[in-house]
Amino acid sequence: MNTQKNQRSFNSSNLSSSPGEGDSPFNPLAPFWKGGFRFIVIGVVVLGIVFRLGNLAIKPYWEDEVFTSLLVSGYEIEMIETAVKSNLMPVDGLTKYQEVHLGRSWKDTSVALAKRPEHTPLYFLLARAWAECFGSSITAMRAFPAVSSLLTLPLFYWLARLLFGSSEIAAITLCLACTSPIFIRYAQDTRPYSLWVVGILLSSAMLLHSLQNSRRRNWMLYSVSVAFAILTQWLSSFVFLAHGIYVLVIKNRFIWARPIMGEPVTEEQVAIERTTLKHFFAALTVGLLPALPWVGLVVYRRSSVQTVLGWLEKEETLSGLMVNWLSNVSRLVFAGLPADNSWLWIVGPFALLLVGSTVRIVTKRPIKQWLLPVLLCVIPTVAFVAPDLLFGGTRSLISRYFLPAYVGALLILGFGLGASTLPAKTLAKRPWRPQRMLFYAVLTISLSASWFNLNADNWWGEPDFSRQAASIITQTSSPVEVYSDQRLSPFMAFSLSLRPTDYVMWLDSTEPLPAEMFGNTRTTFLFEPSDSLLIRVKEEAAKRGVKVALVQGNSPAEGLSQSLFQIGDNRP
């Protein structure tokens, strides 16, 4: 019993972060909670909730969200392709596959997930339970990740408090997390990413808490958080790699470096540190065990997984990569930037601020405070940027893959805007010090960006061709017929923007053209046809004396093939 008490006391005194200079040793919320800053924090938290829960259905439902709805409903895309191919049907006949029906069971959902093992199953199973309670509408499906994302707010505060020992830094980090556009964007996406952020924060906070209080219960909770994260997203493995490196460096630095530097360390202390190492690796291993069956599925279906992820190997120039990297970094606080590269001068100062915060935390604070957030930034970045540079591809352009890096960057930025070398009494007399003013400037930019996203028709203010095409179609007399041979999942997403009275047909480009495309009484559109289909349609229309007119299309200079054609003489 005495040994356990000594171990807990030793870990707490040596591994917990030292309190920030701005805090009173007796009140973890002093000094900011005594002043007006508390009202700012409360107001920002309220806005953070509004940004996550507001206007859930205003953004278009995109292709990956359709896949989520299909998996949750227990359908496989191949099954739907067979059912709807070359079959003219009302819009409801296509969108019904995205709804949870009594005829599709939990077993169907499990089978569909097992055939798509590139994603671990936890989010989709929880979303199935949510859909059975609240329905399968766009608002209902997006409400689940939005509500889940609310858990990240207290977790951001807790993790920053554990890292830096300062309630002021934790409160500033919380404010940044509440308004950060990148976290709000994935809070309103029917995908596993908001739940993944919960797993990243929870497992990291439980790691620090367990290191500070090395009890069996804490390590068991860390195992649970590891299982939660890995069963939500495969890329959690980067987070656990960061955890392993962090623990090894911190513990071995104490065991080996201190004696070399002449600092006294007793054999009992070394034994305690080695025991903590064993507890960590045992807890991590136990937490990863539930994912082993899914690892087997990935190996078994590796060819289909490679096919699904093949689009990531698309080529991109180095200059294009660098511009997109900076754009992705900017989304920590910016949104709605100009379409051209004129935004670079706006984002540049923020990038310098982030670099300066990193330099400051590395040079001014002990390694146990800065190593974990730096590793969360570095490991995913190297894992995705290096293959793109060496072998080509666009893996490093997918911002959602970098959510651990965004978490680490936000922690570093929170430190840079919150840490101070001034004593508590001086801070209380200088609430408008330059560093605080810089925080207010960043917070204002982030608030403005999130408000812009809340009311925008699409994320980051980018134009959405599908929505523009749907607007043109729905302005015509009802009903209309829409034909397309593009991939089924984006066509299903597009159909959600049409009227229930409209008709759609998904075509197989190898089969004969349906006769109803030409000369019927309804207004007929051809949406994003392939080159081969467009040629065939024009040839057949010419034989029948029917016009095929371009209604809307992108400029060839943009390198896009998105287009909407009308077949027949009736103009919209």
Stronger pLDDT, 70 or 4, i.e. the higher one: 70
Collapsing DSSP to helix, strand or coil, 525 comes out as strand
Phi, psi of 546 (to 5 degrees): -110, 140
pTM attached to this predicted model: 0.89
- Amino acid found at 344: L
Q: Is residue 24 pLDDT above 80, yes or no?
A: no
- Number of Cβ atoms within 10 Å of the Cβ of 189: 23
Q: What's the pLDDT band for 442 if we cut at 50, 70, 90?
A: very high
| Average pLDDT value for residue range 413-423 | 75
Q: What is the mean pLDDT of the chain?
A: 84
| Average pLDDT value for residue range 312-321 | 80
**Residue of 410, 333, 443 whose CA lies nearest to 37:** 443
Would you state the pLDDT for residue 27? 44
Would you state the pLDDT for residue 340? 66
pLDDT tens digits, one per residue of 528-549: 998 888 888 898 888 888 888 8
Phi, psi of 284 (to 5 degrees): -65, -45
Q: Which residues contact 88 (CB under 8 A, 6 or more apart)?
A: 481, 503, 504, 505, 514, 516
Range name among 215-229, 394-408, 473-487 with the lowest pLDDT average = 473-487
């990297």: which residue's tokens?
325
pLDDT tens digits, one per residue of 81-116: 888 888 889 998 888 898 887 678 899 999 999 988
Query: Residue 553: exposed, middle, or buried by beta-carbon count in 10 A (0-12, 13-18, 19+)?
Result: middle
Give the C-alpha distances (Å, rounded to integers) separating 557 from 87, 315, 339: 35, 18, 15
Give the C-alpha distances (Å, rounded to integers) separating 560 from 98, 469, 555: 28, 15, 7
Q: What's the pLDDT band for 139 if we cut at 50, 70, 90?
A: very high
Q: Is 331 left (phi over 0), alpha (psi -120 to 50) or beta?
A: alpha
pLDDT tens digits, one per residue of 329-349: 989 998 877 666 667 777 888
**Sheet containing strand 523-527, strands side by side:** 89-90, 503-506, 480-484, 523-527, 563-567, 548-553
Q: Is residue 305 pLDDT above 70, yes or no?
A: yes
Would you state the pLDDT for residue 320? 83
Give the C-alpha distances (Å, rounded to integers) separating 49 from 177, 178, 187, 508: 11, 8, 10, 44
Q: Where are the beta strands (DSSP E) in 6-145?
A: 89-90
Q: Is residue 328 pLDDT above 60, yes or no?
A: yes
Q: Is residue 488 pLDDT above 70, yes or no?
A: yes
Phi, psi of 89 (to 5 degrees): -145, 160
Q: Is residue 32 pLDDT above 80, yes or no?
A: no
Q: Which residues pair with 563 in a beta bridge?
A: 553
**Residue of 499, 539, 490, 500 whose CA lies nearest to 517:** 539
Would you state the pLDDT for residue 422? 46
Let me know: does 214 contact 8? Beta carbons within 8 Å: yes
Stronger pLDDT, 380 or 77, i.e. the higher one: 380
| Percent of the chain's residues with pLDDT above 90 | 46
Phi, psi of 371 (to 5 degrees): -65, -45
Q: What's the pLDDT band for 25 if we cut at 50, 70, 90?
A: very low
| Average pLDDT value for residue range 300-320 | 77
Would you state the pLDDT for residue 258? 54
Would you state the pLDDT for residue 556? 41
| Average pLDDT value for residue range 397-413 | 95
pLDDT tens digits, one per residue of 10-19: 454 444 444 3
Q: Is 568 left (phi over 0), alpha (psi -120 to 50) or beta?
A: left
Q: What's the pLDDT band for 197 if we cut at 50, 70, 90?
A: very high
Q: Is 269 left (phi over 0), alpha (psi -120 to 50) or beta?
A: alpha
pLDDT tens digits, one per residue of 255-299: 555 554 455 666 777 777 888 899 999 999 999 999 999 999 888
Q: Is residue 412 pLDDT above 70, yes or no?
A: yes
What angle do the packed helices 122-134 and 63-73 form, to 10 degrees? 80
- Number of Cβ atoms within 10 Å of the Cβ of 363: 8
Helix%, strand%, coil% for the chain, nearest 5 = 70, 5, 25
